[in-house]
Amino acid sequence: LEFFNSLIELLEQKDNLIVLIAMRSDFRGRSRKYPQFVEKINRPLINVDHLNHEEIEEAIAKPAELVGLGIEGRLKQQLINDVEDYPGSLPLLQYTLTELWKQSRQQQETFLRLETYQQLGGIEGTLEKKANQVFDSLSQVEQTVARRLLLELTQVGETLDTRRRVRLGELVNSHHSLELLDGVSQTLASSENRLITRSHQENSQDVVLDVVHEALIRHWGRLLEWKQTYTEAMVIESKLEAAAQEWQEKGKKRDDAGLLLQGGRLVEAQEYLRKYGELGMLNGLAEEYIEVSRHKHKQITRNRRLVAVGFIGVLVLGTVVSTVFGLESSKQARKAEESEIKALSQSSELLFSSKQPFDALKESLRPVGKLQKTKRVKGDTRIQVIAKLQQSLYGVNQYNSLDKHTDTVTSVAFSRDGQTIASASWDKTVKLWNLQGKHLHTLTGHSEPVTSLVFSRDGQTIASASLDKTVKLWNLQGKHLHTLTGHSEPVTSLVFSRDGQTIASASFDNTVKLWNLKGKPLHTLTGHSEPVTSVAFSRDGQTIASASWDNTVKLWNLKGKPLHTLTGHSEPVTSVAFSRDGQTIASASWD
């Protein structure tokens, strides 16, 4: 953008200045992002069309003549035949002619020969054969690094992939040292191999890498297979590295939850590491960013009690300030209010002594509410009320502490009768508890973290979703009933229909699936273009709502037919819910 702005300024200042701009046709669409620039260059365009027969012959023969090389007539005709009706083949022609020239120099010949061309593999095989030879000559560790380098040098596009320049120093991470990266990149860039180039950035010792030609990106079969396999990883990697770069630019603040990964974004990063971490694709900054985000998430989870204490501390501060100003108030009004507040506080104390902590907590909030509305109460009364709130708050926390899981708890649900609690965890288990916090059963069977769980309406069946791409059904005794398989990516959300006969599951595979209680798939709801994060049934069970990272909510009937798409969010939608009467839908989003 800075370059375009400078160029526009120059054009405006110099009337007699003529600028010639050459642009590849596949990049012209990108110029629309800079309308002021497009306006300035809105002159008659000269399109350079595909070369005709004579022009191809000239492109083959003239460079050879300039260096004193002859070309066999049979080779020239074969090259023309191979290129003329092959769109996009000019880069391959350039690479092939370069290899023919190198072979002629090695053999000390003054002619480019058809036999050599055939040995190289022809217009399509020359690059493929050379790239495979270079890659196969590397050790297993070097091959892993080479694969990463070539993927890093690829910019994934919507219709066409292009080259991307990368600074070598930015690729250093916990998997690949600078020494290893430097050694492999030198091998790939050597005069014998020439798959990539190495150059020094101006005023810097850092090495900049680039592919020798985009023909490598578009025509080398092995790289095409890697891209197809790791496209998802490359897109996520790009997002994570961009977020990490922004974090660095803003001072790498370790406590800024707004900049760090939280919620669904952190889950996506952790899933990326689980599936693709061994590739070592992320740079060191992104690795640090994820680790700091994980630490912050754990800190938030573990410090909820401190948040409560902080709230009480603020209230105490308000107490001191209010006490100072309360001296100016009417003594009679103050005494009346104090009597009422003390009575409510004593009621809370009695409930707490009677081992009714939840009721004690609710009762202790009433005098606190009155304290917030009045300034005419003595400081000691306020402190006593706050102490009762603190006692009730900690009493409830202690009473309700269920701590058998060995990793983060991701979801919790009550049975309809309110007597059983189910909790899901990253430790790959579901645990059942009674209201006194006694551990009843541990449900094991998932091979990856459990992300969501739900009770059926009759309270007899529990459904759990997992990163292992399955949904499992259990009874209240912890017995495994069925495993629902069919999703190709982690399952993120679950819900039972009101009649308890249908289960809906949402997944990172962009779909919602409907199942019966025997685990039989009924319908697959397709239409979202990004992972589905939440799913809900309407109260009458006839409509399903799904939320997605594609910024939309979609409505469906029980047959899986799409009814409506709700647009308006500008960021991924993370949760969706129906009102009790089924007439209103609420959606939550990162925006």
- Phi-psi region for residue 422, left (φ > 0), alpha (ψ -120 to 50) or beta? beta
Distance CA 344, CA 364 (A): 7
The reported pLDDT for the residue numbered 575 is 92
How high is the pLDDT of residue 554? 94
C-alpha to C-alpha distance for 402 and 429, rounded to whole angstroms:
14
Pairing of strands 196-200, 461-466: unpaired
Q: Could you tell me the sign of the dihedral formed by the alpha carbons of 82, 85, 87, 91, in that order?
A: positive
What is the spatial order of strands in the sheet that 480-484 belongs to?
450-455, 461-466, 471-475, 480-484
Neighbours of 227 (CB within 10 A): 18
- Tell which residue, 507, 499, 450, 448, has the closest CA to residue 474: 450
Q: Which pLDDT score, from 0 to 100, does residue 237 have? A: 81
To which H or E segment does residue 578 belong?
strand 573-578
What pLDDT was estimated at residue 328?
A: 45
What's at 247, amino acid-wise?
W
pLDDT at 304: 43
What is the per-residue pLDDT for 325?
46
Q: Whole-angstrom Cα distance, residue 555 to residue 227?
A: 34
Q: What pairs with residue 524 in β-bridges? A: 513
Find all residues with CB under 8 Å of 570, minimum gap 6, and list them.
551, 589, 591
63-66's contacts with Cβ under 8 Å and 24+ in sequence apart are 63/97, 64/97, 64/101, 64/112
Q: What is the pLDDT along the chain (591 residues), one digit of tens a residue?
A: 678 788 878 877 777 777 777 776 656 666 667 777 777 766 666 777 677 888 888 888 888 888 888 888 898 888 888 877 665 667 778 878 888 888 888 888 888 888 888 888 887 788 788 889 899 999 989 999 999 899 888 887 666 777 888 888 888 888 888 899 999 999 999 888 888 889 876 555 678 999 877 778 878 888 888 888 777 777 788 888 888 888 888 888 877 767 888 776 787 788 778 777 777 778 888 888 888 888 877 776 655 444 434 444 444 444 444 444 444 445 566 666 677 666 666 666 666 665 566 666 667 677 666 666 665 555 556 666 666 666 666 555 444 567 778 888 889 999 888 889 999 988 899 999 988 888 889 999 999 889 899 998 888 899 999 989 999 999 988 899 999 999 998 998 999 988 888 999 999 899 999 999 888 899 999 999 989 999 999 988 889 999 999 999 999 998 889 999 999 998 889 899 999 888 899 999 988
Q: Please, what is the Cα angle at 364 between 359 and 365, to 5 degrees?
A: 100
**Amino acid 493: pLDDT:** 92
Let me know how many helices (H) and strands (E) the chain has, helices first: 17, 25
CA distances from 427 to 171, 358, 434, 490 (A): 32, 29, 20, 16
DSSP 401-435: -----SS-EEEEEE-TTSSEEEEEETTS-EEEEET
CA atoms within 13 A on the CB side of 182: 8
Report the pLDDT value the prediction gives residue 512, as an integer from 0 to 100. Answer: 94
User: Which tokens belong to 92?
Assistant: 């391959």
The Cα 391–Cα 407 span in angstroms is 28
SS3 497: coil
Token couple for 149: 């380098």
DSSP 8-state assignment for residue 503: E
pTM of model > 0.75:
no
> How many other CB atoms sit within 10 Å of the CB of residue 540?
12
Q: Which pLDDT belongs to residue 96?
A: 84
- pLDDT given at position 546: 95
Give the 3-state secondary structure of residue 211: strand
Q: Distance (Å, rounded) from C-alpha 303 to C-alpha 313?
A: 15
80-102 burial, b for 16+ CB within 10 Å, e for fewer? bebbeeeeebebbbebbbebbee
Q: Are 487 and 511 in contact (CB under 8 A)?
A: yes
pLDDT of residue 311: 43
Token duo for residue 88:
């996009």
**CA proximity to 352, closest of 389, 401, 304, 382:** 389
Instruction: Name the pairing type of β-strands 166-167 and 207-211.
Output: antiparallel
